A and B are shown apart, each in its own frame.
Chain A
Amino acid sequence: MSKLKLIIKREFIAKVRNKSFIMMTFLSPLLMVGVGALVFFLMKKNDEKVKKIVFVDNSTLFSIDDFSDTKTIHYEDFTDLGIEETKKKVENGDYYGALIIPKKDSLEILAQSIEFYSKESPGLSIINSLEAKIERKLRNEKLNYFGIDIDKINASKIQSSIKMFNFSGEESSKLINGLKIGVGAIAGYMLMMFVIIYGSSVMRSVIEEKTSRIIEIIVSSVKPFQLMLGKIIGNASAGLLQFFIWGILIFIIFTAASSIFGIDMAEMQTSQLSAEQLEVAKKAAGGDKMQLIIQEILRLPILKMFVLFIFYFLGGYMLYSSLFAAVGAAVDNETDTQQFMLPIMLPLILGVYVGFATVINDPHGSIAVLFSHIPLTSPIVMLMRVPFGVSWHELALSMSLLVVTFVFMVWLAAKIYRVGILMYGKKNTYKDLYKWLKYKG
């Protein structure tokens, strides 16, 4: 077996056998799903109690039909009871609140004079929905007053939905744009998490070899570069295995949870889409939301996205983890790493923030394009842009910049690594690292 393979195998096994790795692998999906289910459960419970809202309509404009009940709100007409009696009853009884509609001379004044009394401050969504009901009713009254037929107004409503194409004939819609943002953001964020978790795992592994003093024995058998590469690949393999197990576990747990607790997966997913996107969805596909989403997903350039995802994921991880390895070599223990960590973390975090801030607004805006070419941020930002379709020449430039930088950085990191691993008991500075770069062989 080649030496590199041996190193990869050892690093992989050392990582996978580690107790905290095993705990992380099996507990975090449970935790994630558990917390998710808990939040969902609590949200449901929170809404469950039916709220009783009463109204006193002295304007005689409204009827009980204008206040149709929903799943969580039940309306009652207390006009006959009078304002004072109603207030008393609501205050002492099992009611959520009272809507008082006074008699006014004009609709405009009336619109500003309606009051709502409740024991505690009402939720924003309830007030919004009451205001919407009142506005609709008063508008209809006004149309009546102007002598306009409401039915004709309703019949005249036309909704337009612009179909979006690019010149290579790919169609897009608002829904698919939402999906693209989602896919890109998840990919970019995952890359950042992967780099941070497994990059620092590479770093810790380097520090461990230094503090246990086995490093000189190892490098008398293999080249330091081989050792560094083996560590990077070994840790990444353990990481991919962990991600893979997480994926499977989350899928299993979700399936089990939804069949046990009767949570409708389709409902859960669509409830996360904005109302606007839902509207588009409803109109387009005759009601079947899931099917539509699947259709839209299938319309994404999936193969291209997958290939690019792998490329940027590997490129980004290798680039950063070689830097993490160099940092590990430059220090004697983990507490000394801080001064060297900032320049690594900064572009990572910048990538994610710039990605979220610019790509969502305009995936082809100048800042998004710039950061998807700068090699330290490009893996994250480009991954976010890819679902929106990036031209091949832009991709080629960004990818070649990444490859060139990757080769340069690995060379740089290997130089620092090679010298650093044999430096014990000295707190090194950036000046030292610079000096090491000039050492030959």
Chain B
Amino acid sequence: MSNLLEINNIVKNYGDFRALNDVSIHIPKGSVYGLLGPNGAGKTSLIRIINQITMPDSGTIFIDGEPLSPKHTADIGYLPEERGLYKSMKVGEQALYLAQLKGLSKTDAKKRLNYWFEKFDIMAWWGKKIEELSKGMAQKVQFIVTVMHNPKLLIFDEPFSGFDPINAQLIAKEILQLRDEGATIIFSTHRMESVEEMCDEIALIDKSNKILDGKLNEIKRQYRTNTFQVGLHTANPQEVEASLKQNFEVLPPDFKLLGKELTLNVKLKDANSSNELLSFLTSRGQVQHFVELIPSANDIFIEAVNKNS
């Protein structure tokens, strides 16, 4: 799979403050790419550079193989974290205006808007002013104006903030559908559960540096600790625990089971010795629970950021 966006060695300073320090990120076509990082890490700076709102001090960006230039604004859809619409402008007029600024002709813009307004069943709002709509309704309009011009690249900065769970789910579904139709999506968020749910790849930015990137599965593999949750039905739990301790590192359990089994977290020396552990356990009793502890995106986030500081 080729890359839609190649960001190479971007440096950006605001006066004496370095917001981005030699950041390189490659985003594969048709993926949902999570851009993660604590507040003030430099995510928004990077997103603004991709949107050509600000220019980098040095570094290069290629979109679909071409150096990023003003004509590419039509290929990008951007939903900023700080977002809103003209309050006293009518929904339809406003959407048309924003579509035309993205380079659509008026007739094309109307066609696309009709499609989306019908899809979201909001045709009746066309002549209403934004200030007459509820917050959730305005958010739907906001989503439509982000995606209406069928951009190759969609950038969502905290897309779910301010959405109620129902609308958030609707938007998440739409985002995944847009990916399936070929769009590439950059997804910047703090909400780690949505990262697990949606992202194929991630990059983690902290203190102006990229500290981690790659496929989410691979990163998880890197961050695995070879720790297994073990639940065993046995007549003599103390003896089993004592002999486990001779061969493995045994930790207090971080889970609960329904019965009165022996519960432990067991850390292996390497991933290949899981069978060894399992055969030991089966020889001592009835195995009720045997699960590898896979680090969540949240764990990785916290660990990586802590390691960096």
B150 to A: closest C-beta gap in Å: 15
Q: Which residues of A contact B85 (CB under 8 A)?
A: 212, 214, 217
Which bucket holds chain B's interface residue count? Answer: 20 to 34
B15 close to A212 (CB less than 8 A): no
Looking across the interface, which residue of chain B has its beta carbon closest to that of A9? Answer: B97
Q: Which residues of A contact B57 (CB under 8 A)?
A: 440-441
A204 to B: closest C-beta gap in Å: 12
Within 8 A of B (CB), among A389-441: 422, 424, 435, 438-441
CA distance A399 to B120 in the complex (A): 56
CA distance A213 to B83 in the complex (A): 5
Q: Which residues of A contact B255 (CB under 8 A)?
A: none
CA distance A373 to B18 in the complex (A): 43
CA distance A10 to B87 in the complex (A): 14
Q: Which residues of B contact A214 (CB under 8 A)?
A: 83-86
Which listed residue (B48, B88, B101, B145) contacts A222, Cβ 8 A? B101
Contact flags B76-104 to A (C-beta < 8 A → 1, else 0)? 10101011111111000000011011100
Q: Which residues of A contact B70 (CB under 8 A)?
A: 223
Contact flags B9-51 to A (C-beta < 8 A → 1, else 0)? 0000111000000000000000000000000000000001001
Q: Which residues of B contact A217 (CB under 8 A)?
A: 78, 80, 83, 85, 98, 145-146
Q: Which residues of A contact B73 (CB under 8 A)?
A: 220-222
Q: Which residues of B contact A10 (CB under 8 A)?
A: 97
Within 8 A of A (CB), among B215-259: none
B294 is an interface residue with CB less than 8 A from chain A: no
Q: Which residues of A contact B15 (CB under 8 A)?
A: 435, 438-439
Contact flags A1-43 to B (C-beta < 8 A → 1, else 0)? 1010011001000100000000000000000000000000000
Which listed residue (A7, A209, A441) contacts B54, Cβ 8 A? A441
Which listed residue (A213, A220, A439) contacts B51, Cβ 8 A? A220
Within 8 A of A (CB), among B278-302: none
Looking across the interface, which residue of chain A has its beta carbon closest to that of B51? Answer: A220
B159 is an interface residue with CB less than 8 A from chain A: no
B122 is an interface residue with CB less than 8 A from chain A: no
CA distance A212 to B83 in the complex (A): 8
A212 close to B84 (CB less than 8 A): yes
Q: Which residues of A contact B82 (CB under 8 A)?
A: 213, 216, 424
B162 to A: closest C-beta gap in Å: 11
Q: What total of chain A residues lie within 8 Å of the partner, measured CB to CB?
A: 27
Contact flags A206-246 to B (C-beta < 8 A → 1, else 0)? 00110011101111111110000000000000000000000
B123 is an interface residue with CB less than 8 A from chain A: no
A14 close to B89 (CB less than 8 A): yes
CA distance A223 to B87 in the complex (A): 22
Q: Which of B57, B80, B89, B101 has the most CB of A within 10 A?
A: B101
Q: Which residues of A contact B52 (CB under 8 A)?
A: 220
When A435-B15, A438-B15 are in contact, do A3 and B101 touch as well, CB less than 8 Å? Answer: yes
CA distance A220 to B98 in the complex (A): 10
Q: Which residues of A contact B56 (CB under 8 A)?
A: 441
Q: Which residues of B contact A3 (CB under 8 A)?
A: 101
Looking across the interface, which residue of chain A has its beta carbon closest to that of B83? Answer: A213
B53 is an interface residue with CB less than 8 A from chain A: yes
B68 is an interface residue with CB less than 8 A from chain A: no
Q: Which residues of A contact B78 (CB under 8 A)?
A: 216-217, 220
Q: Which residues of B contact A213 (CB under 8 A)?
A: 80, 82-84
B80 close to A220 (CB less than 8 A): yes
Q: Which residues of B contact A441 (CB under 8 A)?
A: 54-57
B183 to A: closest C-beta gap in Å: 16
A218 close to B14 (CB less than 8 A): no
CA distance A86 to B76 in the complex (A): 98
Q: Which residues of A contact B102 (CB under 8 A)?
A: 221
CA distance A50 to B90 in the complex (A): 63
B53 close to A219 (CB less than 8 A): yes
CA distance A74 to B65 in the complex (A): 98
Looking across the interface, which residue of chain A has its beta carbon closest to that of B88? Answer: A14
When A439-B15, A440-B13 are in contact, do A216 and B101 touch as well, CB less than 8 Å? Answer: no
Contact flags A347-382 to B (C-beta < 8 A → 1, else 0)? 000000000000000000000000000000000000
Looking across the interface, which residue of chain A has its beta carbon closest to that of B77? Answer: A220
CA distance A439 to B55 in the complex (A): 10
CA distance A217 to B85 in the complex (A): 9
CA distance A212 to B141 in the complex (A): 14
CA distance A212 to B89 in the complex (A): 11
Q: Which residues of B contact A224 (CB under 8 A)?
A: 53
CA distance A222 to B98 in the complex (A): 10
Looking across the interface, which residue of chain A has its beta carbon closest to that of B99? Answer: A221
- Can you list 14 A-B pairs with a CB-CB distance of less than 8 A? A6-B101, A7-B101, A14-B88, A208-B86, A214-B86, A216-B78, A216-B80, A217-B85, A217-B98, A220-B53, A221-B73, A221-B101, A221-B102, A422-B53
B residues whose Cβ falls under 8 Å from a Cβ of A: 13-15, 48, 51-57, 70, 73, 76, 78, 80, 82-89, 97-98, 100-102, 145-146
A residues whose Cβ falls under 8 Å from a Cβ of B: 1, 3, 6-7, 10, 14, 208-209, 212-214, 216-224, 422, 424, 435, 438-441
- New contact pairs (9) apart from A1-B100, A212-B87, CB-CB < 8 Å: A3-B101, A208-B86, A214-B84, A214-B85, A217-B83, A217-B85, A218-B98, A435-B15, A440-B55
8 nearest interchain CB pairs? A441-B55, A213-B84, A221-B101, A216-B80, A220-B51, A220-B78, A212-B84, A213-B82
